[in-house]
Amino acid sequence: MTTPEIFFGGAPEVSATAPGRVNLLGEHTDYNDGFMLPVATPQATTVALARSSDDQHHLYSDTLDGNVTFAARGGSAPQGFGSYIEGCIRLMEARGVAVPPLRVFVTTDLPVGSGLSSSAALEVAMLRALRELLGIGLDDVELARIAQRAEIDYARVNCGIMDQMASSLCDERSMLFVDARTLEHRLVALPEGAELIVVDSGVPRTLAASKYNERRAECEEAARKLGVKALRDVTDPAALDGLPELLRRRARHVVLEDLRVLEAAQGVPAERFGALMNASHDSLRDDYEVSIPELDQLVAHLRAAPGVFGARLTGAGFGGACVALCRTGSAREAAEAALSTYNKAGRQGRMLIPVPTQGKEQQ
Ligand code: GLA
């Protein structure tokens, strides 16, 4: 284990932090030009930077892949967390920014693989640090767009814009309403008298990438058949009636999910918000088919816990985490109740938000 002092031989020149995200409503809508309502996680990633004296970029992270080195000019592309960092550097260079060889030190308390967008947090923290080090004029929306390109072109994950918008523009206390077509956005208060819990199912998202691409293709085909640019342009679910059965179900999820977000973004009571979350999960399970039995069970246990207004899977699905909206003051207890039942079947579920007190103390 290396410390920043050892790695930099002193202090870094700059350091920047960015959070992960939990999406509350609007799942699988971003690549359909639709709407979503994520919040930022209390967990975050920090990138510290200094100029390097040789012609290499030197990366280090305890929690990710340890040491990674790649040439500032030419040379082969790094793997693992290095690919996200490389993407950020190369995309800034493509905009005409002269990026010097760097020393990059990454720390994070975001769990990887739980669906809290640790990758978006890494990209946004890296771009923020570069912006500060090199005095680059770049607003937070443009920064989110570059972060998304780093993920698509360098980490080779064909994602939408939600995670990077959330990491770049969200805070923990409000939801960020995002229009994925225009990137218009505004903060929306969480329903009054409510707080969140996020619980990891302990199931890794193994199928996520291939099924994600399959769902994207199905949505594009449905939009083509309907003669619209994207499913966001369908506002009346009755317009889907002529589609083949499978495409109709996929499209119905997207169209109704957009309507749920638009309703929630106007500000609804916690009970109604919870009902919209429940409807979202059921639609992801039945129409969009991105849930798995473990997520369905965890959601059922959360819904049965005292003080819970609603619960759903969050993120792409096929594993990862669930989120629930609870009456203020009851979140921790609700999560513990749900987990004690869920984990009886030998599963490894765990609370992610509120961050377990013990975990915080250990840092
Ligand atoms: C992943 C992607 C996002 C979004 C969600 C599903 O997190 O990175 O762009 O599509 O899945 O809502």
Instruction: Give 198-232 as a 3 state SS string.
Output: EEECCCCCCCHHHHHHHHHHHHHHHHHHHCCCCHH
Domains of the chain by start residue, with CATH = 4-189 (3.30.230.10), 194-353 (3.30.70.890)
Do the Cβ atoms of 183 and 169 come closer than 8 Å? no
Q: Which atom of ligand 1 is nearest the CA belonging to 31? A: 10
Residue 106's closest CA among 128, 132, 125?
125
- Closest Cα to atom 8, ligand 1: which residue? 159
Structure tokens belonging to residue 355? 């961050």
Specify the pLDDT at position 358.
Answer: 58
Mutate to test the pocket of ligand 1, among 22, 123, 159, 250 (most ligand atoms within 8 A of CB): 159
pLDDT one-digit tens code per residue, 267-293:
999 999 999 999 999 999 999 999 999
What confidence category does residue 87 fall into, taking pLDDT thresholds of 50, 70 and 90? very high
pLDDT score at 165: 98
pLDDT in tens, 234-267: 999 999 999 999 999 999 999 999 999 999 999 9
State the chain's mean pLDDT as an integer: 95
pLDDT value at 362 more than 80: no
Separation of CA 23 and ligand 1 centre (Å) = 9
Mean pLDDT, to the nearest integer, of 26-41? Answer: 98
Give percent of the chain above pLDDT 70: 98
Confidence at 208, pLDDT banded by 50, 70, 90: confident
Task: Check if 26 has its Cβ closer than 6 Å to any atom of ligand 1.
Answer: no
- The whole-number pLDDT of residue 66 equals 85
Q: Of the ranges 74-83, 163-172, 193-202, 350-359, which one carries the lowest mean pLDDT score?
A: 350-359
Mean predicted confidence (pLDDT) in 140-158: 96
Could you report the per-residue pLDDT of 52-65, keeping only the tens digit for each?
Answer: 999 999 999 988 77
The region of weakest confidence among 148-152, 156-160, 343-347, 358-362 is 358-362
Question: Residue 113: helix, strand or coil by DSSP?
Answer: coil
What pLDDT score does 321 carry?
97
User: For strand 321-327 and strand 350-353, is the pairing parallel, antiparallel, or unpaired?
Assistant: unpaired
For residue 110, the SS3 value is: coil
Would you state the structure tokens that stand for residue 330, as one six-digit string? 């009851």
* 239 class by beta-carbon count within 10 Å (0-12 exposed, 13-18 middle, 19+ buried): middle
Q: For 301-343, write each residue's pLDDT tens digit.
A: 999 999 999 999 999 999 999 999 999 999 999 999 999 999 9
Q: What is the pLDDT of residues 127-137, one digit of tens each?
A: 999 999 999 99
Ligand 1 atom at minimal distance to the Cα of residue 28: 12
Tokens coding 96: 């005409």
Catalytic residues: 163
Report the residue among 22, 28, 148 best suited for mutation to probe ligand 1: largest number of ligand atoms under 8 A from its CB: 28
Mean pLDDT of 94-112: 96
Are the beta carbons of 50 and 12 closer than 8 angstroms? yes
Task: Check residue 209 and give its pLDDT.
Answer: 80
Q: What is the pLDDT of residue 360?
A: 43
The sheet with strand 350-353 has its strands ordered as 308-313, 321-327, 194-200, 350-353
Of 26-30, 89-93, 168-172, 313-317, the poorest mean pLDDT is in 168-172
Distance CA 36, CA 53 (A): 44
Query: HSE of 314 in the Cβ direction (CA atoms, 13 Å)?
Result: 35
Q: Which two tokens stand for residue 260?
A: 């749920």
pLDDT at 207: 67
Residue 359: pLDDT band with limits 50, 70, 90 = very low
Q: How confident is the model at residue 31 (pLDDT cuts 50, 70, 90)?
A: very high
Q: Is the CB of 116 under 6 A from ligand 1?
A: no
